[in-house]
Chains A and B, each alone.
Chain A
Amino acid sequence: DAKTTQPNSMESNEEEPVHLPCNHSTISGTDYIHWYRQLPSQGPEYVIHGLTSNVNNRMASLAIAEDRKSSTLILHRATLRDAAVYYCILRFTPDDKIIFGKGTRLHILP
Chain B
Amino acid sequence: AAGVIQSPRHLIKEKRETATLKCYPIPRHDTVYWYQQGPGQDPQFLISFYEKMQSDKGSIPDRFSAQQFSDYHSELNMSSLELGDSALYFCASSLRSWADTQYFGPGTRLTVL
Chain A positions within 8 Å of B, measured between CB atoms, are 32, 34, 38, 42-46, 49, 85, 87, 91, 94-103
* Chain B CB within 10 Å, residue with most, of A49, A85, A95: A95
A6 CB, min distance to chain B CBs, angstroms: 11
Which of B48, B101, B106 is close to A97, meaning CB atoms less than 8 Å apart? B48
Number of B residues with CB within 8 Å of any CB on chain A: 25
In the docked arrangement, what's the CA distance between A101 and B44, Å?
Answer: 9
CA distance A49 to B94 in the complex (A): 15
What is the interface of chain B, defined by CB distance below 8 A to chain A? 4, 31, 33, 35, 42-45, 48, 50, 56, 58, 90, 92, 94, 96, 99-107
A85 to B96, CA, bound (A): 26
Q: Are A101 and B107 in contact (CB under 8 A)?
A: no
A95-B100, A97-B33 known; 8 new pairs, CB 8 Å cut-off, are A43-B92, A43-B105, A44-B43, A44-B104, A91-B100, A96-B56, A98-B92, A100-B43
Max chain B Cβ within 10 angstroms of own Cβ: one of A43, A91, A100 = A43
> Across the A-B interface, how many residue pairs have beta carbons closer than 8 Å?
54
Cα of A107 to Cα of B43 in the assembled complex, Å: 20
Q: Among B31, B43, B105, which residue has its beta carbon within 8 angstroms of that of A95? A: B31
Complex contact A103–B33 (CB within 8 A): no
**B99 close to A94 (CB less than 8 A):** yes
B47 to chain A, nearest CB (A): 9
Q: What residue in chain B is nearest A91 (Cβ atoms)?
A: B100
Q: Are the CB atoms of A42 and B94 closer together than 8 Å?
A: no
Q: How far is the CA of A95 from the CA of B50 in the complex (A)?
A: 10
B contact residues around A32 at 8 Å (CB): 100
B104 and A45 within 8 A (CB) = yes
Among A42, A95, A100, A103, point to the contact of B96 (Cβ < 8 A): A95
Bound complex: CA A90 to CA B93 (Å): 18
